[in-house]
Amino acid sequence: MVSSTQNDTASRTSAANAAANAAAAAYGAPADGTDTAEGTEDRFLKLLVAQMRNQDPLNPLDNAEVTSQLAQINTVRGIEQLNASMTKVATASTAVSPLSAVGLLGRQVLVEGDRFEWTAPDADIASNDPTMPSVDVSGSKSVRVGFELPVAARAVRVEIVDAAGRVVHARDFSEPEAGVHTLDWDGIDTDGRAVSSGKYTLRAYGVDENGGESSVVALVPARVNGVSQAPGGARLDLVGRDAVAASAIRAVL
């Protein structure tokens, strides 16, 4: 024979579940409890109020049960707030501040692009074309360019093309790993002759492990001449180029 205590518990549970399901349907929340985290606290409180309104007067809700449920929803809410705070902290830690980017002023960096200017070591003056990135060759007889691979490739070919469309230099890379790769060009063409100062184009082609075309991003040099604040962190002003986020810098030369 079922005891009266068991009957009371079963009756209370049944009434509570019925009230919860009715409130869930009324407020548009799934009766089985499956939902997103958004609005969880608001729906919980509405369900709790509906449950209390529809409780059996002879078998009211146990205060300990109500307190336990409130404690649980507060714990869930606290965890959500902690996760949101940690996300903000992680985002802030990865953003580059203008102060930390000051060291890049005057430095040569590699950024995504396909045009650069070569200045011969014996040239009297560099080009004054503001649309082209300036390359500082003082004390140096080469210019550094590069490419970036999102994934490893079977092979990559890099070509430097002059204004007339002639390939003046080419270099092949066998099985390069994913990431940034650089190469130095000394201004000597494929015939062993020094090229003249001017504008050049960098082209990069890749072949993946299956013989298909692999994604390759060409990287060219640019000089940093300013640092400013942007919503996402530091923003760098480049000579002859549009400003870019500090995160767009692929290498510091």
What structural domains does the chain harbor? 4-94 (no CATH), 99-252 (2.60.40.4070)
Calpha distance 8→51 (Å, rounded): 16
Calpha distance 202→167 (Å, rounded): 10
Calpha distance 198→227 (Å, rounded): 28
Model confidence, pTM = 0.59
Calpha distance 190→170 (Å, rounded): 8
pLDDT tens, the chain, 253 aa long: 445 444 454 454 454 455 445 544 544 444 444 455 557 777 777 877 887 788 777 777 777 777 777 777 777 777 777 777 666 555 544 456 676 778 889 899 999 999 999 988 865 444 445 555 444 434 458 999 999 999 999 999 999 999 999 999 999 999 999 999 999 999 999 999 999 999 999 999 999 999 999 999 999 999 999 988 888 778 899 998 889 988 899 999 8
